[in-house]
Structure 1
Amino acid sequence: MGNTKSKILVTGADGFIGSHLTEDLVRQGYNVRAFVYYNSFNSWGWLDSSTDSIKNELEVFSGDIRDPYGVKEAMKGCDIVLHLASLIAIPYSYHSPDTYVDTNIKGTLNVVQAARELNVSKVVHTSTSEVYGTAQYVPIDEEHPLQGQSPYSASKIGADQMALSFYRSFGTPVSIIRPFNTYGPRQSARAVIPTIITQLASGKQKIKLGSLHPTRDFNYVKDTVNGFISIMKSEKSIGEVINIGSNFEVSIGETARLIAEVMDANIEIETDDVRLRPEKSEVERLWANNQKAKQLLNWEPVYAGKEGFKRGLRETAEWFMNKSNLSHYKADVYNI
């Protein structure tokens, strides 16, 4: 499954993880159709930054994951679908929860319904560690209870269950990848690592952040991409939910200090109330058990442990320090 003769549709190919995944698939010789969000600027998102050697090998389909007709058209002739298209910002989900139901749940229904009708050989649906909520035990394995602590996480729980229901009801070959907190070049500044880096790269020493005590399991984007490709290739992954995480827990406060260290910067942290989640909505602790991925897929993180995390932070900071890359970001504006 997933040999280079396969035609692969990547939804959300214009986004942070999707663009990295699309580029890597092209480099490995796959025939890739990139589903990007239709807009009047004819922008392909981050794929606009790809080299000509990548773009010349891509077939691009502009559409909207909420449109079942467009989704089915995009999937025609494809053997495999890697479904990443999603609304992911947690603060915006407090603001506009209805859009998360439409995009994340209905969008996933459109993908698996079309996959069923077109007899697609594999769908890899993207979940998130946020579906676990605050850890009830650590490290968190795939059997951990699901808790919707934000409208975003609730919509992703619904999307995951929709995808799995098609596997159980109709035998649709679905796999669920559940990445923990992915970071790296191109990530939106609504996420904490780019928030810190862009503020420091813009010359600030006093950094505005939300809560510092919650812990996360950060996963460098190259490891996440390798997880997608490993799941895509594996017959054993069908019908399974698989964590992709580093198995390294670190607090937001310590993360900020490590970023300052790799950027050789002085840092003073100021709590910004607008960046705080409602108390019961804050996910206090995430720490991935990645044994299932190791056993089923032979996948493990290359950027593992504290030293791997620092290496990933260094590579991320170097990308953001490039002025042409930094120009895409508004370091002075809180991005929900």
Structure 2
Amino acid sequence: MDLTNKKILVTGADGFIGSHLTEELIRRGHDVRAFVLYNSFNSWGWLDQAPNDIKGSLDVFAGDIRDPYGVKVAVKSCDVVLHLAALIAIPYSYHSPDTYIDTNVKGTLNVIQAARELEVQKVVHTSTSEVYGTAQFVPITEQHPLRGQSPYSASKIGADQIAMSFYDSFSLPVSIIRPFNTYGPRQSARAVIPTIITQIANGLTNIKLGALNTTRDFNFVKDTVDGFISVAQSDQSLGEVINIGSNFEISIGETVELIAEVMNEKVKVNTDEMRIRPEKSEVERLWADNAKAKRILGWEPKYGGREGFKRGLRETVEWFTNPHNLSTYKADRYNI
């Protein structure tokens, strides 16, 4: 699909990945409606920090993904929907699972139903590598079994199935993008890489973390954004689930060492029991097979491998260590 002259709705445009995606679409000359969460401060989340030329080009819709009427109003007159809006913090899902069902499952249903009724030409639904649970084989292909090891991952499995059911039942043009662990500027401190960087940047040499032996496949946000746009453009992606990952596995302990090296600091890690997931819920290993993305989309990571990861970390550290950006993070507190 050629996105030229298409009206594109991005839900979750105020968030980490959503704001980067929205900005890149605007830079490429696309017509974008940014769906942000309504709040009394009239905040557009991270889009408030966007350059003025980006903000001036935006059509902003403030609403709530849980409201089917508001969602339908947002979808109206749009040709393409990139659905990112979701609750994603895993620890908070143990605390408030009901909100994850409302937002992630019912919110997705609202988007999909509106897209069907309004005859949207393409929906890209956002999944997560967490739906796989601990890897039963590596690298993880799209055929890997799904296992909801947290209320969050269970809600995303449900959302994925809702989206795909509308492709099977009603021929709604749906694609599912399944990003692995995205990192980069603006990421929430609930994620491990910002947690490490902000503690070091605030002068701590004994940093607090959870499990260190778990492994992840980290994907720089620019690569993830390119993945979204590639899926939206690809007709071959219809009815498909596509991993977007770097195909590089690294432990959290090794990640700490790499970040300390990039920041030219020496640190020790103390295990904080508050940051340990409940028993049996920790996803021990994630490693993406991205062959399908390469074959169908022609996509591959520009920040792949160990050196690509270090390059992405340098860009991330540069952003977080800017005093203005760092001041917005509470590095002394555990962010659930």
TM-score by length of 2: 1.00
Distance 1:60 1:212 in 2: 40
Counting matched residue pairs gives 336
Match of 1:283 in 2: 283
Match of 1:94 in 2: 94
The Cα shift of 1:327 comes to 1.3
Q: Deviations over 1:89-121 (max 9, x none)?
A: 000000000000000000000000000000000
Match of 1:40 in 2: 40
Match of 1:216 in 2: 216
Amino acid at match of 1:53: D
Segments of structure 2 that go 5 or more residues without pairing to the other structure are: none
Distance 1:265 1:19 in 2: 31
- What is the RMSD of the two structures over their aligned residues, measured on CA atoms? 0.4
Distance 1:279 1:201 in 2: 31
The Cα shift of 1:38 comes to 0.2
Distance 1:231 1:3 in 2: 11
Distance 1:143 1:3 in 2: 29
The Cα shift of 1:33 comes to 0.3
Match of 2:272 in 1: 272
Q: Secondary structure at the match of 1:212?
A: coil
CA contact (8 A) 1:14 1:37 kept: yes
**Post-superposition, which runs of at least 4 consecutive aligned residues in structure 1 deviate over 4 A?**
none
Match of 2:166 in 1: 166
Q: Report the identity percentage.
A: 76
Amino acid at match of 1:266: K
Distance 2:2 2:154 in 1: 31
Q: Within 5 A, what are the aligned runs for 1:182-331?
A: 182-331=182-331
The Cα shift of 1:266 comes to 1.0
Q: Deviations over 1:241-300 (max 9, x none)?
A: 000000000000000000000000111100000000012000000000000000000000
Segments of structure 1 that go 5 or more residues without pairing to the other structure are: none
Distance 2:2 2:93 in 1: 34
CA contact (8 A) 1:4 1:28 kept: no
Match of 2:156 in 1: 156
The Cα shift of 1:225 comes to 0.1
Match of 1:10 in 2: 10
CA contact (8 A) 1:12 1:37 kept: yes
Match of 1:30 in 2: 30
The Cα shift of 1:2 comes to 3.8
Q: Secondary structure at the match of 2:280?
A: helix
Amino acid at match of 2:261: E
Q: Secondary structure at the match of 2:86?
A: coil
CA contact (8 A) 1:132 1:144 kept: yes
TM-score by length of 1: 1.00
CA contact (8 A) 1:209 1:270 kept: yes
Distance 1:52 1:241 in 2: 35
